Amino acid sequence: MTWQAHWVSQTSGFADATRILEVGAGGFETSVYLARRFPEKEFVGLDFTLSPLALKTLGNGPSNLTVVKHDARNMRIFAEGYFDFIFSVAVMEHIAELADHLEETARILRKDGLYCFWQAPFWSCSKGHHFRHDAPDCPIPPYSHLHLTQSEMREQLIERGIAPDEAGDIAEFIYARGDLSRLGRSQTRAIIEDSPFEIAQWEDQDDDRYNPEGVSRVMARNLYGLPENDLRFKGAKVRLVCTKS
């Protein structure tokens, strides 16, 4: 079992759900596991790319899992109120159009349906730039994406010995890649509070690379107007209840 499947299946509301959607299913291991483990439930796994791993995993997939190649920012393919439980893991940080996504998710959930997600890293944490953020040889200094502009980042990478073209590509990835959210934790929460959902649970996850010196550098040139407290957290586990009438 994947840890994602363990988390989802233990989440309050999953046991009673009958129609379940995974958004951004990636390799589909979680959807496949859950569909096999809970044959009485109907599962849909959605992603806008089907990776070789996904195709391999799905090769002999269970019959109660439907795979959909589609963009989560527009889920018009599903009928209003169809699902009673939607979840995603490590996907919300890729969705810049958060308000639209939440509207769309609420549309396809029944009233009082649940949207549960685990989001990390927020743009506002030490490694929120997303460029090889978990690699030990990541060339981006912690927090630097929060106090350098794109051209300054490129210059800094060149000073660190990276070839100009590559430095330009990395800076472009960090600041301009389309499928990356540059919302901080508080901005994310404020948009959710203004959406057709009520926050039933919000569990912050500490940034284990938190560094007061790095935070001081950000606060001295706070390009994104981030509250200092946002920099303590790398992600959150969230459970939302759909409040539409």
User: Measured from the CB of residue 158, what is the shortest distance to ligand SAM in angstroms?
Assistant: 29
User: Measured from the CB of residue 161, what is the shortest distance to ligand SAM in angstroms?
Assistant: 29
Near ligand SAM by CB under 6 A, which window of 47-55, 102-110, 197-205, 216-224?
47-55
Number of residues that bind ligand SAM (CB under 6 A): 16
The answer to whether 100 contacts ligand SAM (rule: CB under 6 A) is: no
CA 151 from chain center: how many Å?
Answer: 26
Among 9, 62, 71, 81, binds ligand SAM (CB under 6 A): 71
Query: Are the beta carbons of 170 and 139 closer than 8 angstroms?
Result: yes
Could you give the CA distance from residue 112 to residue 85 in angstroms, rounded to a whole number?
A: 9
* Among candidate residues 47, 18, 56, the one with its CA nearest the CA of residue 35: 18
Among 36, 94, 217, 237, binds ligand SAM (CB under 6 A): 94
Near ligand SAM by CB under 6 A, which window of 19-27, 107-115, 133-141, 190-198?
19-27
H/E segment holding residue 167: helix 164-176
Give the residue closest to ligand SAM by C-beta: 26
Near ligand SAM by CB under 6 A, which window of 21-29, 125-133, 196-204, 231-239?
21-29
The answer to whether 90 contacts ligand SAM (rule: CB under 6 A) is: yes
Residues 113-132 that bind ligand SAM (CB under 6 A): none
* Among candidate residues 150, 154, 155, 169, the one with its CA nearest the CA of residue 223: 150
Could you give the CA distance from residue 120 to residue 129 in angstroms, rounded to a whole number?
A: 11
Return the number of the residue (155 or 179) whose C-beta is nearest ligand SAM. Answer: 179
Could you give the CA distance from residue 35 to residue 15 in angstroms, rounded to a whole number?
A: 13
The answer to whether 49 contacts ligand SAM (rule: CB under 6 A) is: yes
Burial classification of residue 63, based on how many CB atoms lie within 10 Å of its CB (0-12 exposed, 13-18 middle, 19 or more buried): exposed
How many C-beta neighbours within 10 Å does residue 186 have?
A: 16
Residue 189 structure tokens: 């929460």
Q: Which residues form the interface with ligand SAM (CB under 6 A)?
A: 4, 24-26, 47-49, 71-73, 89-91, 94-95, 179
